[in-house]
Amino acid sequence: MNTLLQSGFRIPQDVAVMAFGDTLTGHFAPIPMSTVSLRHDLMCRIAVETLNRLMDQPKAAKPSEVQEIIRPELIVRSSA
Q: What are 36's strand-pairing partners? A: 20, 74
Distance set, CA 44 to CA 12, 16, 33, 51, 68 (Å): 33, 30, 24, 11, 12
Furthest-apart CA atoms within the chain: distance in Å: 61
| Residue 33 confidence (pLDDT) | 86
Residue 36 near residue 20 (C-beta atoms within 8 A): yes
34-37 and 18-20 as β-strands: parallel, antiparallel, unpaired?
parallel
Model confidence, pTM: 0.62
Tens-digit pLDDT profile for residues 41-72:
888 998 898 888 888 887 766 666 777 888 88
